[in-house]
Amino acid sequence: MKVTVVGTGYVGLVTGTCLAESGNDVTCVDNNPAKIETLNAGKLPIYEPGLLELVQRNRHDARLSFTTDLRTAVRAARLIFIAVGTPQSEAGDADLTAVFAVADAIGAALKDEPPGPPGSRVVITKSTVPVGTNKAVAGRLAAAGCPHVEVASNPEFLKEGAAIDDFMKPDRVVVGVRRPEVAEVLRELYAPFLRTERPFLVMTPESAEMTKYAANAMLATKISFINEMANLCDRLHADINDVRKGIGHDQRIGFQFLFPGPGYGGSCFPKDIEAVIAMGRRTGLPLKLMQAVDAVNDDQKLVLFGKIAAHFGGDLAGKTLAVWGLAFKPRTDDIREAPALTLIDELLAAGVKVRVHDPEAMENVRALYGEKLYYADKPYGALEGADGLAIVTEWPEFRNPDFELIRRLLAGHVVFDGRNVYDERTMSQYGFTYYGIGRGK
């Protein structure tokens, strides 16, 4: 099928590339010429494991191309995905400026086309958009002279760092449509990814839009729940890692997304929880649970700093701290809403010298902090002379380090483990004072 994807961020690029990989003829559009230039030079504007190889192969096989020419790409396509950003507005809502601008541009591109049979031209919203956006996009297309163009909602559930796999082997595909013919076109498009009997769920656009928010709201709730339990464990000298296992074996609870840490970050959860709260506010329904999830997370981002300050008796001025892990999670260079940034801000404000290392996110952090930090190319380089080490992101390379070397390099033998990658027993054998999250102190 001829597919156009507008927006070459994480979602757009992964969607376009994976749809090309399954044999479709895909054009990706962006209004940022620098991004298109990068992609046409065979490079990626983001880091995502496995994506570069797929982009290069599909470009080589002429199934994938990149352009700034939205009009031509839209007119040539049967399916047009909108995958542009929906950042948080001042009021907490998702800002739909980019989505509507693209809808208007699609309308302008298609307005003089004669209408075809149902399903012959479908605009699909992939971006995370508030409930009601499908209707608003359809309204704009109709106002632009394209009442015949169908609008479907097809939320994306991919995780950064595992995006290709999530797209290729989805737990489910959700589509929101007003006509069954449109669902059938999308069922055909997704069939190659659903061969292991994964469900293709058809519902109204409103339910599809809500599904995306409900999924992220549930996941964020699990994280804030376990973080709150972890903080209580600290005060009661229980170990959250044992408690986590103790509850996870109950199949109604399960193990997934119950890892305590320094709070959730990234481009999705923080923004989507705010957007859910805003939807509640707009409809006169205060969402108390969502507000609590958000508040717990804000506090959680300060927990590691609290442990560091307490360890040094509240006096941090002139100390040096090494920080391992800056991206909001492993296998990405994304630092949006990353808990490491909150920690760094607190440390700098307390007069601490900060030495950082991350396998992928260093350039993004340097762009924010400039010379305020020391950037170590290698993990061990960050440790030299530091009074302690804080781990904020659980990159695999931090899991089995050379503890002897760490002890030799660190001036102060204390580790603040924001992801519980180590344990008290091993660390004390190597002579470290150890703090985890919810490990009993």
Q: Does 261 sit near ligand UGA (CB under 6 A)?
A: yes
**Closer Cβ to ligand UGA, 146 or 208, answer by number:** 208
Binding mask 39-78 for ligand UGA (x = CB under 6 A): ----------------------------------------
**Closer Cβ to ligand UGA, 257 or 369, answer by number:** 257
Smallest gap from Cβ 330 to ligand UGA, in A, equals: 8
Is 81 annotated to bind a ligand? Reply is no
**Closer Cβ to ligand UGA, 220 or 362, answer by number:** 220
**Closer Cβ to ligand UGA, 70 or 338, answer by number:** 338
Edge to edge, the sheet with strand 79-82 lists: 64-67, 25-29, 2-6, 79-82, 122-125, 150-153, 173-176, 200-203
Tokens of 314: 């509240």
Find the binder of ligand UGA among 266, 325, 412, 436 (CB under 6 A): 266
Find the binder of ligand UGA among 81, 213, 269, 324 (CB under 6 A): 269
Is 157 annotated to bind a ligand? Reply is yes
**Closer Cβ to ligand UGA, 259 or 432, answer by number:** 259
Binding mask 149-178 for ligand UGA (x = CB under 6 A): -------xxxxx------------------
**Closer Cβ to ligand UGA, 150 or 272, answer by number:** 272
Please give the residues from 317 up to 376 whose contact with ligand UGA meets the rule CB under 6 A.
328-329
Smallest gap from Cβ 229 to ligand UGA, in A, equals: 12
Query: How many residues sit close enough to ligand UGA to count as binding (CB under 6 A)?
Result: 20
Which residue stretch of 1-9, 260-268, 367-375, 421-429 sits at the interface with ligand UGA (rule: CB under 6 A)? Answer: 260-268
Residue 149 neighbours by CB distance under 10 Å: 24
**Closer Cβ to ligand UGA, 47 or 380, answer by number:** 47
SS3 290: helix
Three-state SS across 384-395?
CCCCEEEECCCC
The DSSP line for 211-257 is: HHHHHHHHHHHHHHHHHHHHHHHHHHT--HHHHHHHHHTSTTT-STT
Among 18, 146, 233, 268, which one carries the catalytic annotation?
268
Is 316 annotated to bind a ligand? Reply is no
**What are residue 390's DSSP bridge partners?**
323, 416
Is 329 annotated to bind a ligand? Reply is yes
Looking at residue 396, the DSSP 8-state letter turns out to be G
Tokens of 179: 């006509």
Smallest gap from Cβ 320 to ligand UGA, in A, equals: 26
Is 266 annotated to bind a ligand? Reply is no
Binding mask 239-258 for ligand UGA (x = CB under 6 A): ------------------xx
Please give the residues from 181 up to 220 whose contact with ligand UGA meets the rule CB under 6 A.
216, 219
Edge to edge, the sheet with strand 388-391 lists: 374-375, 353-357, 320-324, 388-391, 414-417, 433-435
Residues in the chain: 441
- Pairing assessment for the beta strands 173-176 and 353-357 based on DSSP bridges: unpaired
Find the binder of ligand UGA among 265, 359, 379, 436 (CB under 6 A): 265
Is 288 annotated to bind a ligand? Reply is no
Render the burial of 184-194: b for 16+ CB within 10 Å, e for the rest. Answer: ebbeebbeebe
Smallest gap from Cβ 88 to ligand UGA, in A, equals: 13
Burial of 407 from C-beta contacts in 10 A (0-12 / 13-18 / 19+): middle
The Cα 72–Cα 67 span in angstroms is: 9
Tokens of 257: 């997304």
SS3 81: strand
Residue with tokens 């229980």: 238
The Cα 109–Cα 228 span in angstroms is: 51
The Cα 191–Cα 93 span in angstroms is: 34
Whether 268 is catalytic is yes
Residue 133 neighbours by CB distance under 10 Å: 24
Annotated binding site for NAD(+): 30, 35, 86, 128, 160, 271, 336
Binding-site ranges for ligand UGA (CB under 6 A): 128, 156-160, 216, 219, 223, 257-259, 261, 264-266, 268-269, 328-329
Annotated binding site for substrate: 157-160, 212, 257-261, 265, 329
Q: Which residues are catalytic?
A: 268
